[in-house]
């Protein structure tokens, strides 16, 4: 493993060892705050209905660059089906195994190590840095990031740039970066048909058939992927950016 990755791996291991199954944070955020406070971060913990959230900010100037992520992990399923204990971080064949190694405790570790390295190299950098971390991303997700964002909005705080640490690589680290993410539209669709006799189907209007047509018009099950803008770059090339493709209808 790349030696530059070792501090990140060490912190990721500490996080993976904490059994933070949604909505339990299991001390992960306290560990992050412990690392961030000496760097000048003001760390606020907001507990809502058993969900633990961390808002940490260093500085007050704009622009504000924010890192967003979650400390919770989904349940492990049968532990016997794992090759190693999911809460004992284990290195095998150059890969780190454990619940949350991919989604997304390694990302949280990378946030902290990148911030430490950046501030060591640029102690007087303009602007400010923040983190929004929740313990309820894998669950209902109503008392987590949304609550912090509501508070920020009420205080008139605006985030200029945000990096979300969700894993998006396909084969190699950094081979895919997603610019934005799908949204959700919820609603109630009422489809009114016309009753008829089975012998005269042409005189009836089957609401199931009509609903199918409506489903197609709203994009059906593909709407999520349509709204996701992704790009892949060849290994070794510099990160770049592509404009959001025009939505198809
Ligand atoms: Zn995730």
The string of DSSP letters for the chain reads --GGGHHHHHHHHHHHTS--BTT--TTHHHHHHHHHGGGT-EEEEEEETTEEEEEEEE-SPSSEEEEEEE--B-----GGGSSS-TTS-EEETTEEESTTIIIIIHHHHHHHHHHHHHHHH-TT-SSEEEEEEES-SSS--SSSHHHHHHHHHHTT---SEEEE-----SSSTTSEEESS-------------B---TT-GGG-B-HHHHHHHHHHHTTGGGHHHHT--EEE--TTSPP---PPPPPP-
Give 185-235 pLDDT, tens digit per residue: 778 888 999 999 999 999 999 999 888 877 777 665 544 444 445 555 555
Residue 64 Cα, ligand 1 centroid: separation in angstroms? Answer: 23
pLDDT of residue 229: 52
Per the prediction, the chain carries an average pLDDT of: 87
Give 49-84 pLDDT, tens digit per residue: 999 999 999 999 999 999 999 999 999 999 999 999
Mean pLDDT of 142-166: 94
Q: How confident is the model at residue 239 (pLDDT cuts 50, 70, 90)?
A: very low
Residue 200 Cα, ligand 1 centroid: separation in angstroms? Answer: 53
The residue ranking higher by pLDDT, 214 or 239, is 214
Residue 222 Cα, ligand 1 centroid: separation in angstroms? Answer: 21
Give 100-123 pLDDT, tens digit per residue: 999 999 999 999 999 999 999 999
């Amino acid at each position: 493993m790349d030696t530059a990755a070792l501090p990140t791996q060490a912190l990721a291991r500490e996080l993976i060892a904490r059994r933070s199954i949604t909505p339990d944070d299991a001390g992960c955020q306290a560990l992050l705050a412990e690392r961030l406070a000496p760097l000048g971060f003001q760390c606020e913990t907001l507990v809502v209905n058993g969900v633990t959230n961390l808002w940490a900010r260093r500085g007050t100037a704009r622009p504000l660059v924010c890192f967003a992520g979650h400390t919770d992990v989904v349940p492990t399923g049968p532990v016997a089906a794992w090759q190693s204990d999911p809460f004992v971080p284990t290195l095998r064949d150059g890969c780190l195994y454990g619940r949350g190694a991919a989604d997304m405790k390694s990302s949280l570790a990378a946030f902290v190590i990148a911030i430490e390295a950046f501030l060591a190299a640029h102690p007087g950098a303009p602007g400010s840095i923040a983190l929004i971390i929740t313990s309820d991303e894998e669950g209902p997700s109503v008392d987590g990031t949304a609550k912090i964002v509501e508070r920020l909005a009420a205080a008139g705080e605006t985030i200029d740039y945000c990096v979300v640490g969700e894993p998006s690589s396909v084969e190699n680290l950094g081979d895919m970066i997603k610019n934005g993410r799908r949204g959700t539209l919820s609603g109630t669709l009422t489809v009114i048909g016309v009753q008829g006799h089975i012998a005269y189907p042409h005189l009836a209007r089957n609401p199931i058939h009509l609903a199918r047509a409506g489903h197609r018009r709203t994009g059906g099950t593909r709407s999520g992927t349509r709204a996701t803008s992704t790009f892949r770059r060849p290994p070794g090339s510099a990160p770049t950016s592509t404009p959001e493709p025009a939505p198809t209808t």
